[in-house]
Amino acid sequence: MFRDALELSEGDRATLAGLLIESLEPPPDPEVEELWAVEAERRWQEIESGAVQTIPWEEVRARLFRRG
């Protein structure tokens, strides 16, 4: 079985690894999922309305490296 998995393409092995990891996690709590969905929508609306500004990844990365 494991040897068969090693013969899969890199992409298929990555997909299989992800599915195996997910199978070890407990099922999501519907209440928590709903709260995250509400929070994600709130944050999206803040971005869309201009209430908050995003920071490009390159800038965030540069700031992090300057700290370290």
Q: What is the pLDDT of residue 68?
A: 72
Q: Does the pTM of the predicted model rise above 0.75?
A: no
State how far Cα 42 lies from the chain centre: 18
Could you list the residue range(s) of the whole structural domain that residue 32 is in? Answer: 2-67
Q: What is the pLDDT of residue 36?
A: 97
Counting the structural domains of the chain, the total is 1
Q: Residue ranges of the chain with pLDDT lower than 70?
A: none
pLDDT digits (tens, 9 = 90+) for 31-49: 999 999 999 999 999 999 9
Helix boundaries (H) for 7-53: 10-24, 30-49
**SS3 assignment, position 27:** coil
